[in-house]
Amino acid sequence: MNDKVYTLGVIGGGQLGLMFTESAHAMGHKVVVLEPDPDSPAGELADEHIQSAYEDEDALRKLGLACDAVTVEFENVPAASLEYIGQFSEVHPSPDCFRYSQNRIVEKTMILDQGLSTAAFQVIAGPEDLETARKTMKFPAILKITEMGYDGKGQALVMVPDDLEAAWEHLDNPECILEEKIDLAKEISVILGRDKEGNISCFPIAENVHKKGILHTSAVPADIDSDLQEQAEEAAKTLATALDLIGILAVEFFVTKKNRLLVNEIAPRTHNSGHYTQDAVMTSQFEQQVRILTNAGLGDTRLKSSVVMVNLLGNLWKKRVPNWDMLEVDSHIHLHLYNKKEARRGRKMGHFNYLGNDLEELHKKAADMFAKLGGTVA
């Protein structure tokens, strides 16, 4: 273990940056956050908050000169900003990793180039592509903007070919992909850490449930057979190696009803579906991120307990703060709040991890607790 005290930079001040900062502080390191929002969760906890735009070269220079290494907490940081910081500090993951994850066409092409499978798709760049797609694609299909889409935003379900043009116009005619709607059995994700020597360690695979495009629960261990588990881990390792990634990578997969594994998307950062690692794994995804940046060696990713993670959105707040006291009666529940100033519908405000031995029972208990807090999934 390296005894040096590192100063680590984070671009982005949201909840992922907050939990990274908590882990870095617990390990004795300092954190500088670059984030324009004066009230950001990570900025308030960090040793220094540079309040500025992500493209501000003076701020980027200041961040780079202050830090031993810089990372990000969301993937839409301009790659040019990361390249600029690279003149003054190490940047992990590299700008190239984000060029792949920021554009669905580039991302899916890279995935296919590695011999992996995705849902069938077609690029929609102009009116001429609409007619081709109507003839060649299977419907229903999902139209997705190629950049800046997340948590279900920038998407439209297209039930029949004749609805395609209207859906494209509704999205303001951007460059899109039209993706076949999968006959879905379940969704899973693999999160891994890869260090500077190329060593890779995967966290236990999570089985995820989304509601209205936003992650609702992650259950671990995922209910998949050993062959599918091995396929998913190997696919994620292949992608991390192809990207020459240093840091954390999340890979989301579709599992079809015929038990076929399809890569959905990648994120070269810590991930919502990895929040269970804070309480149920020997090393959390955030500690692993810190360990990689500080050359401390990869931590142990063995599962300590089965777990169901439940996202807490701003919808829960309604007219008042939820009664968190009811969670304290069960020591198997671990609550994590993000200290955001304003609760808005669909905004991620926190999560809880429910630990235990029986996953089926955990699902029921987690659902009951979510309902007691006032939550609905409709």
Evaluate the omega torsion of the peptide bond into residue 221 and state whether it is cis, within 30 degrees of 0: yes
pLDDT of residue 286: 98
Torsion of CA 209, 212, 215, 220, to 10 degrees: -10
What is the residue extent of each domain of the chain? 7-91, 120-180, 184-372
Which is nearest to 265 in space by CA: 171, 179, 375? 179
User: What is the model's pLDDT at position 152?
Assistant: 59
H-only helix segments in the chain: 15-26, 41-45, 57-66, 79-85, 95-101, 104-113, 127-136, 164-170, 226-242, 277-280, 285-293, 359-372
What token pair was written down for 188? 């899973």
**CA gap 108, 100 in Å, rounded:** 9
Q: How far apart are CA 69 and CA 165, in angstroms?
A: 46
Residues 226, 183: Cα–Cα separation, whole Å: 21
What CATH class does 7-91 carry? Answer: alpha beta
The confidence score (pLDDT) of residue 314 equals: 94
For residue 349, what pLDDT is reported?
Answer: 97
State phi, psi for 103 to the nearest 5 degrees.
Answer: -135, 120
DSSP SS3 for 358: coil
Q: According to the model, what pLDDT value does residue 169 have?
A: 84
Position 65 scores a pLDDT of: 98
| Residue 228 pLDDT | 97
Instruction: Select the CATH number that applies to the domain covering 120-180 from these four: 3.40.718.10, 3.40.50.300, 3.30.1490.20, 3.30.479.10.
Output: 3.30.1490.20
Q: Which residues of the chain have pLDDT under 50?
A: none
Q: Which amino acid is at 354?
A: Y
pLDDT at 377: 60
Q: Which class would CATH give 184-372?
A: alpha beta
